[in-house]
Amino acid sequence: MKIATVLRNDDFSREVCRMLREKLHARPDNLYRFVDSRNDRPDLVVSIGGDGTLLEAVHQYGFEPTYVGIHTGHLGFYADWRPEELDEFISALEQPHPFIAEYPTVQCRIHTSDGQTHHKWALNELVIRNASLSTLVACVYINGEEFETFRGDGLIVSSPSGSTAYNKAVNGAIVHPSIEAIQLSEIASINNQAYRTINSSLVLPKHHEVELIVMNPEIMIGLDREQAVWSRVRSITCRVGGDKVKFARYKRLPFWGRVRNSFIKD
Ligand code: NAP
């Protein structure tokens, strides 16, 4: 089995990685080989850090490998294992057919006024905001029909597994990752006599598409951890992605338990 690791940039994560490599190398069976690049086509990518580290790993290695996370901070949504469980984790790796949870992504096409289309995707979400502090203005179309004109700080299109991240902070719904959907949520919309939006999050099924026609000359686009200022964006279309991210679930940690542990339990 070819294993790649992606680490949060801190001493503890580096130490956990060192211990993992040492323990796997010490095995007599030579079953595991560590690789460092996407071209080496790892079977398994181990993220050591937080959910943010897992997002980085997924963008680095793409849809082919399976992912598993060791969290060196608080229990996350993508990472299942604690550093003190390394021996148990190594035994679990021997399971020939672990349960694979497949998480939907958000597929985005960014159309610019020079006629180009940029294909992007996100595991958590796409976020758009105006590039300056003034209002983002975007016409929202759903399946080709005009829905509303949004004025406010920004819009988020999140996946189910991203629904517990930025989307939750703006009161979006939490969506179970087995539901293939995307969610459009508002960040501080203006609602008064002149401007009106639905002011609720919309959950769209797999075969629906949302299009955001952008009125600002420059906007900030966030895709998971990556963010950049884009000029002359005409529109952005989003739908449920055709590719899913595969997570090896060697132990049972139900999604709603993670939600409770993260947001309710002390
Ligand atoms: P960050 O600003 O350093 O951390 C954002 C926080 O979001 C971290 O605590 C991270 O967990 C957590 N997180 C990431 N994905 C999550 C998920 N699917 N469910 C629940 N929590 C999640 O940024 P980052 O580490 O690079 O992560 C990028 C993400 O930050 C973006 O995708 C966006 O969702 C989120 N974000 C949230 C807000 C907000 O809530 N107001 C604002 C901007 C961005 P770990 O500590 O385990 O890494």
- Is 36 catalytic? The answer is no
Ligand 1 within 6 A of 50 CB?
yes
Q: Where are the domains of the chain?
A: 2-98+250-263, 104-243
Two tokens, residue 233: 């964006």
| CB contact at 8 A, 204 and 230 | no
* Nearest protein Cα to ligand 1, atom 21: 165
The fraction of the chain above a pLDDT of 70, given in percent, is: 100
| CB contact at 8 A, 183 and 166 | no
How far is ligand 1, taken at its centre, from the CA of residue 52, in Å?
A: 6
How far is ligand 1, taken at its centre, from the CA of residue 16, in Å?
A: 22
What is the model's pLDDT at position 266?
61
Ligand 1 within 6 A of 247 CB?
no
| CB contact at 8 A, 107 and 122 | no
Helix (H, G, I), strand (E, B) or coil at 118: strand
How far is ligand 1, taken at its centre, from the CA of residue 225, in Å?
A: 8
Query: In this structure, which topology does domain 104-243 adopt according to CATH?
Result: Tumour Suppressor Smad4 (2.60.200)
Ligand 1 within 6 A of 148 CB?
no
Instruction: Tell me the CATH class for 2-98+250-263.
Output: alpha beta
Tell me which of 11, 51, 80, 87 is the catalytic residue: 51
* Nearest protein Cα to ligand 1, atom 1: 52
The per-residue pLDDT of the chain, averaged, comes to 96
How far is ligand 1, taken at its centre, from the CA of residue 158, in Å?
A: 12
Whole-prediction pTM value?
Answer: 0.97
Rounded to whole angstroms, what are the CA distances from 238 to 55, 158, 166? 19, 10, 17
What is the model's pLDDT at position 10?
97
Per-residue pLDDT tens over the stretch 136-167: 999 999 999 999 999 999 999 999 999 999 99
> Which residues of the chain fall below pLDDT 70?
266
DSSP state of 11: H
Rounded to whole angstroms, what are the CA distances from 237 to 33, 127, 140? 40, 12, 10
* Nearest protein Cα to ligand 1, atom 37: 166
Is the fold of 2-98+250-263 the same as that of 104-243?
A: no
